[in-house]
Amino acid sequence: MKIYIKLVGVIVLLFTLLGLLLSPVLLTSKVFAKGTASNVTISGIDVGSLAEEKIEPTLQKAVDEWKEQPLTIQDEDVTLTIHASNLSFNVAAVVSQYKTVTAKPWYAFWQKPKEVELTIPVTLSEAALKKIAGVSSWNQEAIVSQALAQAGGLLDHSVNAIVLERNMIENERLAFQLAEIPIEAKGTELIVSLMKEHILLSQEPYSLLQVIGEQSASANEIAINFIASTLYSAVLQTDIELLERHVHEKLPHYLQQGLDAKVNGAVNKDLRFVNTSNQAKKLKIAIEGQTLKVEIFAPTKEKEIMLHISQDNIVKPRIIYRYSDDLVAGQQRVDQEGQEGIRVEVYRSIVEDGSTNEQLISKDYYAPLNRIVTRSSKEPKMITTTTQITGKDTVDADLQIDLDDNGLADVEEPVIPNSQEAGPEIVYGYYDKGGNFVQTSP
């Protein structure tokens, strides 16, 4: 009986001691489950001292502040901007992970609070991934991993691109255009220095006025339009989509009809286009001697491009006469040679995988350049002569005029036009205010 009483006493004593020991442990376990006893940071934010219900709102506020700026990825040649709307932050997932890693069972009372560093999971949109993949010289996988790490940690918005091979983008030349720089062009070198190399990223528009900026005032109109025309002619040799282009009113002499472009910042006339393919292209512009060279490169040549220019109705120029008393009586001079007006249609054929897609690029009308002739305003001397009249009385006024002042009456001989050489039929006429062609030739 005594042994039994002693055994019960020992058991009671053990339970008492166990209760005393478990009380602080259970309290501590409850605290650890809330994370207040652990040193925990999420994306650089200390959440260990926060109440559990305040953690998610605090993180979401930090994410919203970080997304106020875009993410940029850049190397020496390319700068890619990823808008923050293309990044998705899963705050709820990291809060759930936080609860899991900070919870401590009651029996692990002997363990010290551990330090935990978590980052918010982030994903990139398909559009952003496609944009990064468009730069063929970049290591896409490494760049995406780095971008997600910086965004998830709410770190710097700038990512240094990892380049595979810098010359890879110049594997294939898609376009090549040479044009002699007009003598009248002033400031060509300065404008070309601003444009010499540019990466045409997928789906990113290119604006000539935006590239040259305020420096456009440093060159004259002829220089800027010459550069724009040469660039436009090169772009037509690729599958690049045109967004904006303006034609000259009168045909410039430095390029073929239909291949010119006119820009004017004062009236918002720009040359704009966009690379719609999945691969980036490289635009290179340089001056070699007195020639402007424009080239467009890509990693691979995916399509064959052909241009077709069709000439339509021809409009004959008018002759404008002016008068001046600086010229000798009967004398005249040509101040401006005439040039025929013409309507031109430009087509681009894109051949890919055996199928052809023909695009009408433009319908351009170049007004005729009128011939300007200045005549003397002085009256020639009149000569009195006796004219033998046979039959009816006739007087020819031309016989009474001495245009060359030699004392003899002049006779204007009719000019017999040369017969038209064999070739395409030329139709003469003009365009009325409604843009309709009015034929004047038979």
| Alpha helical stretches, state H, 83-202 | 91-102, 126-133, 140-152, 188-195
Condensed to tens digits (0 to 9), the pLDDT of residues 140-197 reads 888 888 899 999 999 999 988 877 665 677 788 999 999 999 999 999 999 999 898 8
User: Which residue has tokens 């923050």?
Assistant: 84
Of 369, 57, 76, the residue nearest 197 (C-alpha): 76
Of 320, 374, 366, the residue nearest 345 (C-alpha): 366
pLDDT of residue 18: 59
Domains of the chain, earliest start first = 29-127+138-155 (no CATH), 165-302 (no CATH), 303-379 (2.20.230)
pLDDT of residue 113: 62
Provide the 3-class DSSP secondary structure of residue 228. Answer: helix
Residues 327 and 266: beta-carbon distance below 8 Å: no
pLDDT of residue 26: 47
Give strand pairing partners of 121. Answer: none
Of 207, 212, 282, the residue nearest 244 (C-alpha): 207
Per-residue pLDDT of the chain (442 residues; tens, 9 = 90+): 556 566 656 666 666 665 555 555 444 444 444 444 457 888 888 887 788 888 889 999 999 999 999 999 988 778 888 998 999 999 899 888 888 877 766 555 556 666 778 889 999 998 888 888 877 777 888 888 889 999 999 999 998 887 766 567 778 899 999 999 999 999 999 999 989 888 888 888 999 999 998 888 889 999 999 999 999 999 999 999 999 999 987 777 777 888 999 999 889 899 999 999 888 889 999 999 999 999 999 888 888 999 988 887 777 888 888 888 888 887 888 888 888 888 888 999 999 888 889 999 998 888 888 888 888 888 776 665 555 545 545 555 544 555 555 454 444 444 444 444 444 445 555 555 444 555 555 5
Task: Determine the Cα–Cα distance for residues 234 and 259; give it in Å rounded to an integer.
Answer: 9
Backbone phi, then psi, for 304, in 5-degree steps?
-105, 135
Task: Determine the Cα–Cα distance for residues 348 and 308; give it in Å rounded to an integer.
Answer: 6
Pairing of strands 341-352, 304-315: antiparallel
pLDDT of residue 366: 84
Backbone phi, then psi, for 363, in 5-degree steps?
-125, 110
pLDDT of residue 419: 44
pLDDT of residue 31: 41
Provide the 3-class DSSP secondary structure of residue 258. Answer: coil
Count of H helices and E strands in the chain? 8, 25
